[in-house]
Structure 1
Amino acid sequence: MNPITLPELVRVKTVPAKADVVVVPLTGDSEPAAVDLPTSVGRGYERKFGQSVVDMAKALGAKPKPGATTVVPGLNGQRLVVVGMGADEPTPKTVRKAAGAASRAVAGMKDVRTIAVALPADEPELLRAVVEGTLLGQYAYAPVTAEPADKPALEFSVVSTVADKSIIEQARVVAEAQLVAREWVNLPPNLLYPETFAGAAEDLVKGTKVKVQVLDEGDLTSGGFGGHMAVGGGSAQDPRLVRLSYAPARAKAHLVLVGKGITFDSGGLNLKPGESMSTMRCDMAGAAAVIAATHAIAQLGLNVQVTTYGCMAENLPSDTAFRPSDVLTIYGGTTVENYNTDAEGRLVLADGLARGAEDNPDLIVDVATLTGAAMVALGTEIFGVFSDSDEVAERVLGAAEAAGEEAWRLPMGEWSAKALESKVADLKSGGGRWGGASIAASFLRSFVDEEIDWAHLDIAPASFNEGSADGETPVGGTGVAVRTLVEIARSLQA
């Protein structure tokens, strides 16, 4: 794994005179209306060029569309990155997107070291959004190569009158956690497989207040984790279950997180089409999110106990692979008729959920790139939220909104559980063509006691960006759900 090295970032009250680049917002409707420049910069610009920054930006094609960037010549070799902010009042979402887009534009420039970010940041939530967007936007996965390119060390100064230094530090912790999740998702599956993924999780929390336990194939077999052993049975890479524990002395609540960590998903004997397989290294994004978020929660010192399970396996076809119609015994004894080997994630999650329910949590949240059905329903930028509790669903959706991530509640109920009826086992792992994401959610709910609050995040729609970069979202792994999980933990402190 490439080490995550964050650029230097500090708060300043005014734009440093010697900044190589100054990032400024462009607001308006269809036509550029205003660039919010420090007065001294704006006057100096007009004296030198004989026109306003707005006129120059407009001549160069600048648009106020949120996230659109234009580079404008500045004073004494200094350049301006003009970034669209739309016509409405700035929100954390629009500011985060603008900061991410500008940061990405700057990261691609030559001979740039110091950057002043003069976006709206005079409220705590806006400052947090600017810092997160700036740090997330400059990320790009470094290719595996014999001659890695030197990446210049950037220094960002965020212009803000908010004096609370803890806001920047908290934003740095959360952004770094999301970058760790991105990096894991982007790693090729021959480099990140269950054993090395478990090792990376151990390395991440080393020296912190998070305790870690790794169950190998022997532990999983003797412990009765039949979902892991079935899914991982076709691969030479044996499965792992990583358990993290963060337990502050006076914790207000106990949160259990469970993440799907399928480091490569071929579909097993129900083999995927070749074109659907190339991005299946991202099928461990749920485990990446819960592990990275746990580390962030501990670094932030949130007063919530967190127990986390990263359920790791590789799903390949071979003479030892599990089959459709096999009956599997999940941790705790529940038997499952397997209906499709390409619905493997719910089987390892079932092990993790059943084990996590024994920890006496106040809330269990599982995170998984679980179904294509969620992608059909929601597109490629919104993740699905399932819960049989309106209160829990509102908590999760509120956390996502506070974190600046897009989420939508999807339905489940007796109708989706009915598809799980089996004649040869306690239940079936799926079935039927319609409502696949809801059926999968009902299956997962079967492994959590009814009295325990539970939510399921299906992040398949938003975990891997195959399009172009947008705002703070890069190409490839997005690290989605990390920020939402941190906000869920924060909400449980009350």
Structure 2
Amino acid sequence: MTSFSLPPLTLATSAPGDADVLVVGLAESAGTAVLVGVPDSVEARVADQFGRPLLEVARELGAASKPGTAVALPGVAGSRLVTVGLGEIDVTPEQVRRAAGNGVRAAAALAGDRPLRVAVSLDAVEPEVVKGAAEGALLGSYSFVKVSGTQPKPAIASITVVSNSGRTEARDAVDAARTVAEAVCLARDWVNTPANVLYPETFAEAARTAAKGTRIDVEVLDDKALEKGGFGGILAVGGGSSRAPRLVRFSYAPRGAKAHLALVGKGITFDTGGLNLKPADGMYTMKSDMAGAAAVLAATRAIARLGLKVRVTAYASMAENMPSGTAYRPSDVLTMYGGTTVENVNSDAEGRLVMADALVRAGEDSPDLIIDVATLTGACVVALGERVAGLMASDDTAADAVLDAAESAGEAFWQLPIPDGTRTKLESKVADLRSGGNRAGGALTAAAFLHSFVPDDVPWAHLDVAGPAFNDEGPYDYVPTGGTGMAVRTLVALAQSLQS
């Protein structure tokens, strides 16, 4: 199993003289384009070389302040310039994060046989903006390492974030950015790994390896332990595969922690739909159906490495949903962990079953807040598109905590309701619950099902990341094609907020 390695990242008060590519900004101020982060020496060299100001040259070549724009300029004294659109001059950390990602991706496209040294100069001063620039640059440098006998050379040799802030907070922000970016890229790697390489057993071992060197205790329940414990949902979903399911538990309990956060992630390493078989086109990207588990495990690793003073217990329910003579059937009645019986409606609604077991188990840990993350429903993609995740919660306080964290992290979530009466769709004549209702409001019904397995006195939020967890189109901003690492940054920001 291969993995991407982030390039070295440093903070400097001026652009290094040996940088191969300098990324600068173009912003809009009162209707006028303004260059951002360009050293006076570069302005002078451009004027000497082209006989015109840099702004004029850049705009002639297509540079613009529009976010998402990245234009490479001709060489200036042996180095290249890349201008990126920042939008309005009064930038947010997310604007800078996106611009830095665009700039580094554009720089990577210039690489030949030799990896390039890249400097990102966007006038970042405040710690959160510096962190945004560093995160965007690192995330923009990501590319999945192919499963191949020959390994390609990296396009980026190093990244320097330029800031005239010499404060300790700026250096700390860069260090934190690297830790968070490494977690996001770890989740991306897991999501991108083919399902014949990453399946429940190997995913669990990869999680165990990722926790080494941290203060995370790891417990892995195999199929025998799951059967002994009565985890009927995970066992049913994984029963059709020759690859047995797993339940991974991460526990991080630092001294001084006053809050306890529980995380639950869907880890379907491949989803055929089971006996309710998916069409071929809908199955191709289903190696990504474990993105929720990847997010909660990677986020917990980052929380531990940052030394945040919050207790975190994470559960990753891992199974492969396959059709066979041992596969579970529509109309089967399953006994979940904790004793609730469920009438299975559709074997392609498997995620909520493995999540239900883990939610009950998480509730036994008496956390202050439970968050689950899952690529759960196509209905959420229909409702919100492919770049916005759904959020459903037990109460507005829990929802607001997640939304605030998401805004801080730069990830897009939109709150959806669980209307009164939704639970009636889950009434069964043969069991305690049905696993689903009709097609109307499918994402809401799925959330109502999950909420049934959360203790009444514990706040809970459900993050349906089915749309933005995997990008099967071209890269944009700091988001690559393939796994995106969606929700990792939000979970880390949420843990940070719970420290106080």
Normalized against structure 1, the TM-score is what?
0.98
**How far does residue 233 in structure 1 lie from its aligned partner after superposition?**
0.5
- Which residue number in structure 2 is paired with residue 375 of structure 1? 381
CA distance in 1, matches of 2:278, 2:393: 29
Question: Given the alignment of the two structures, is residue 201 of structure 1 paired with residue 245 of structure 2, yes or no?
Answer: no
What SS does the corresponding residue of 1:127 show, helix, strand or coil? helix
- Which residue number in structure 1 is paired with residue 172 of structure 2? 166
- Which residue number in structure 2 is paired with residue 35 of structure 1? 35
Q: Is the 8 A contact 1:4 1:176 kept in 2?
A: no
Aligned-partner residue type, residue 461 of structure 1: G
Give matches, 1:271-290, under 5 Å: 271-290=277-296
Aligned-partner residue type, residue 362 of structure 2: G
Per-residue Cα deviation, 1:338-374 (whole angstroms, up to 9, x for no partner): 0000000000000000000000100000000000000
What SS does the corresponding residue of 1:242 show, helix, strand or coil? strand
Per-residue Cα deviation, 1:281-307 (whole angstroms, up to 9, x for no partner): 000000000000000000011111101
CA distance in 2, matches of 1:265, 1:185: 13
**How far does residue 43 in structure 1 lie from its aligned partner after superposition?**
1.6
1:114 is aligned, of 112, 117, 123, to 117
**How far does residue 87 in structure 1 lie from its aligned partner after superposition?**
3.1
What SS does the corresponding residue of 1:414 show, helix, strand or coil? coil
- Which residue number in structure 1 is paired with residue 429 of structure 2? 423
**How far does residue 63 in structure 1 lie from its aligned partner after superposition?**
2.2
1:339 is aligned, of 345, 348, 351, to 345
Aligned-partner residue type, residue 102 of structure 2: A
- Which residue number in structure 2 is paired with residue 481 of structure 1? 487
Question: Given the alignment of the two structures, is residue 328 of structure 1 paired with residue 346 of structure 2, yes or no?
Answer: no
CA distance in 1, matches of 2:213, 2:492: 20
Q: Is the 8 A contact 1:346 1:444 kept in 2?
A: yes
**How far does residue 32 in structure 1 lie from its aligned partner after superposition?**
7.3
**How far does residue 67 in structure 1 lie from its aligned partner after superposition?**
2.1
- Which residue number in structure 1 is paired with residue 11 of structure 2? 11
Aligned-partner residue type, residue 169 of structure 1: D
Q: Is the 8 A contact 1:378 1:384 kept in 2?
A: yes
RMSD after superposition: 1.3
- Which residue number in structure 2 is paired with residue 87 of structure 1? 88
CA distance in 1, matches of 2:122, 2:391: 32
Q: Is the 8 A contact 1:231 1:347 kept in 2?
A: yes
Per-residue Cα deviation, 1:424-476 (whole angstroms, up to 9, x for no partner): 00111101110100000010010111101111000001100011111011100
- Which residue number in structure 2 is paired with residue 142 of structure 1? 145
**How far does residue 29 in structure 1 lie from its aligned partner after superposition?**
8.1
Q: Is the 8 A contact 2:118 2:156 kept in 1?
A: no
- Which residue number in structure 1 is paired with residue 51 of structure 2? 50
Aligned-partner residue type, residue 49 of structure 1: F
Q: Is the 8 A contact 1:227 1:328 kept in 2?
A: yes
Per-residue Cα deviation, 1:371-411 (whole angstroms, up to 9, x for no partner): 00000110010101111211000000000000000000001
Aligned-partner residue type, residue 75 of structure 1: V
Aligned-partner residue type, residue 433 of structure 1: R
2:399 is aligned, of 393, 418, 428, to 393
Structure 2 alignment gaps of length 5 or more? none
Q: Tell me the percent identity.
A: 54
CA distance in 2, matches of 1:116, 1:237: 46
CA distance in 1, matches of 2:137, 2:2: 20
**How far does residue 56 in structure 1 lie from its aligned partner after superposition?**
1.3
Normalized against structure 2, the TM-score is what?
0.97
CA distance in 2, matches of 1:2, 1:55: 45
CA distance in 1, matches of 2:123, 2:292: 33
Structure 1 alignment gaps of length 5 or more? none
2:273 is aligned, of 241, 258, 267, to 267
CA distance in 2, matches of 1:492, 1:312: 28
Question: Given the alignment of the two structures, is residue 175 of structure 1 paired with residue 178 of structure 2, yes or no?
Answer: no
Q: Is the 8 A contact 1:32 1:54 kept in 2?
A: no
CA distance in 2, matches of 1:199, 1:107: 32
